[in-house]
Amino acid sequence: MQTKRPRNINPLSISLPIGALVSITHRLSGILVFLLIPLFLWGLQISLISPEGFNVIRDYLQSPLYKCIAILAAAGLIFHLLAGIRHLLMDLHIGESLKAGRFSARLVILLSLILLILFVYKLGRVAL
Amino acid sequence: MSLGGTGLRDWLVQRYTAVFLGIYTLFMVGFVLIRPEVTYEDWLGLFASPFMQISTLFALVCIAFHAWVGLWTVLTDYVKPPFLRYLLEGVIIFTLFGYVIWGIFVLWG
């Protein structure tokens, strides 16, 4: 359909409402977690093969590269899980108002950051 | 290409699989957190139990359905050329199917 209305197709020039930000990040984190599935399966496979395999994964988690990947995976998983719980609660008609939606969106971001920091702290101890 | 005719079935599949995957994830996090260090014996013992093997396989099947509904939605929203969309959908279906098969090998191989 052709319209004369101005169209702004640069997403970076738009200030997203907090709910929209959580929504798009929920999608992006879902794609991220999907892309990391082979890494999870590979890690599970190697870690179960033998004690040596288990140590291989443990040693990998000491290297900066794999630490970064683990943190990225945790970030995606934590956010996707919390944003998903928010969605499920809304499906049960809990927190559906605009005010509650904005509050829970902020809560999801805050809790995700806290849990991610705890994960990084725990991961850091693997190296000690 | 959606799972159900009306979309309601997709919606339900997305939610039911989400609930199971959430519970599975919390269980795994709990397993790691309740002990100071996870040893190979702990880890092997966990995945050697039939309950955990079945649960993990079920989680993989849930991931396959959950990811399919989610990625189908994303592709439908953002990938407009039909050929490219169908191609990507095909790749995703085979990839997810492969992950389930791979999981069976990991759990019982």
B3-26 pLDDT, tens per residue? 656 788 999 999 999 999 999 999
Residue A30 burial (C-beta neighbours within 10 Å; 0-12, 13-18, 19+): buried
DSSP states of B41-89? HHHHHHHHSHHHHHHHHHHHHHHHHHHHHHHHHHHHHH--SHHHHHHHH
- Which tens digit of pLDDT belongs to each residue from A7-66? 767 777 778 899 999 999 999 999 999 999 999 999 999 999 999 999 999 999 999 999
For residue A85, which residues of chain B lie inside 8 Å, CB to CB?
Answer: 22
Q: Where are the domains of chain B?
A: 8-108
Say whether B36 sits in a helix, a strand or coil: coil
Q: Which CATH class is domain A19-126?
A: mainly alpha
For residue B106, which residues of chain A lie inside 8 Å, CB to CB?
Answer: 41, 44-45, 48
Amino acid at A10: N
Measured CA to CA in angstroms, residue A48 lies from A51, B13, B34, B63, B83 at distances of: 8, 31, 20, 21, 41
Question: Across the interface, which of B18, B40, B103 has its CB nearest the CB of A84?
Answer: B18
Quickly count: other Cβ atoms within 10 Å of residue A94's Cβ: 11
- Supply the pLDDT for residue A13: 74
Among B12, B13, B40, the strongest candidate for a mutation testing the A interface, having the largest count of A CBs within 10 A, is B40
Among B68, B102, B105, the strongest candidate for a mutation testing the A interface, having the largest count of A CBs within 10 A, is B102
- Supply the pLDDT for residue B2: 61
Say whether B90 sits in a helix, a strand or coil: helix
Report which of A37, A46, A25, A44 is spatially closest to residue A108, judged by C-alpha positions: A25
CA-CA distance, A87 to A94, in Å (whole number)?
9
User: Residue A127 pLDDT more than 70?
Assistant: no
pTM: 0.90
Give percent of chain A above pLDDT 90. 80
Q: Is A48 close to B22, i.e. CB distance below 8 A?
A: no
Residue B61 burial (C-beta neighbours within 10 Å; 0-12, 13-18, 19+): middle
Contact A71, A123 (CB under 8 A): yes
pLDDT band at A128, cuts 50/70/90? Answer: very low
For residue B71, which residues of chain A lie inside 8 Å, CB to CB?
Answer: 30-31, 34
Chain A neighbours among B 25-44 (CB < 8 Å)?
25, 40, 43-44
Report which of B87, B88, B96 is spatially closest to residue B68, judged by C-alpha positions: B96
Chain A: nearest CA to B4, how far in angstroms? 19
Report which of A85, A113, A105 is spatially closest to residue A17, judged by C-alpha positions: A105
Question: Across the interface, which of A34, A41, A88 has its CB nearest the CB of B102?
Answer: A41
Q: How much is the mean pLDDT over chain A?
A: 91
pLDDT band at A125, cuts 50/70/90? Answer: confident
Q: Which one has a higher pLDDT value, A4 or A119? A: A119
Q: Which CATH class is domain B8-108?
A: mainly alpha
ipTM score here? 0.92
- Which tens digit of pLDDT belongs to each residue from B29-73? 999 999 888 999 999 999 999 999 999 999 999 999 999 999 999
